[in-house]
């Protein structure tokens, strides 16, 4: 009788002490939340994904450091445009301990709020995230669009 109880107690202890990582996917979870936030036009949800001292290298601009600068970049874009589609593809992710990296390509279609035709921006991205106090945050977000071919 003691052996089945002891075996059950050992199994229960092992299950309760084993970390569960399925829902915690580092940079990938941030990338998914980013897509959701920009499609909703929710600047505060987007900014909340970044560490206070994060670096953002957006397409067409040099850099934005810190949440206030990142808020200005994404706030300016989202106040002027409605994102109708945003997708990430050809992605890769690696997580080791408290650091996670992601990379791939993106396509974002947006409609200017003042009117005009929709536009689509396509490019590539790489990001680095760290887990702080149990929460993943971007510390580096770099997106770029390829340059057009040189004139012939």
pLDDT digits (tens, 9 = 90+) for 6-17: 333 333 333 333
Tens of pLDDT along the chain (152 residues)?
444 443 333 333 333 333 333 345 899 999 999 999 999 999 999 999 999 999 999 998 899 999 999 999 999 999 999 999 999 999 999 999 999 999 999 999 999 999 999 999 999 999 999 999 999 999 999 999 988 888 88
Query: In angstroms, rounded to a whole number, what is the distance separating the alpha carbons of residues 9 and 22?
Result: 24
Q: Taking a C-beta distance cutoff of 8 angstroms, is the pair 96, 129 a contact?
A: no
Query: In angstroms, rounded to a whole number, what is the distance separating the alpha carbons of residues 18 and 62?
Result: 43
**DSSP 3-state assignment of 8?**
helix
Q: Where are the domains of the chain?
A: 22-144
pLDDT (0 to 100) of residue 18: 33
Query: In angstroms, rounded to a whole number, what is the distance separating the alpha carbons of residues 74 and 86?
Result: 14
Q: How many helices and strands, by DSSP H and E, does the chain display?
A: 4, 6
Domain at 22-144: CATH architecture: Roll (3.10)
Global pTM reads 0.81
């Amino acid at each position: 009788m003691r052996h089945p109880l002891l075996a059950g107690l050992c199994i229960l202890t092992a299950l309760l002490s084993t970390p569960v990582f399925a829902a915690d996917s580092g940079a990938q979870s941030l990338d998914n939340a980013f897509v959701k936030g920009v499609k909703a036009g929710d600047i505060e949800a987007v900014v909340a994904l970044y560490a206070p001292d994060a670096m953002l290298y957006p397409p067409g601009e040099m850099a934005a450091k810190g949440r206030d600068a990142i808020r200005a970049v994404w706030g300016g874009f989202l106040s002027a445009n409605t994102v109708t589609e945003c997708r990430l593809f050809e992605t890769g992710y690696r997580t080791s301990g408290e650091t996670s990296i992601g990379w791939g390509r993106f396509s974002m279609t947006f409609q200017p709020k003042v009117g005009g035709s929709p536009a689509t921006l396509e490019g590539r991205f790489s990001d680095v995230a760290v887990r702080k106090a149990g929460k993943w945050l971007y510390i580096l977000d770099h997106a770029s669009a390829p340059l057009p071919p040189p004139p012939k």
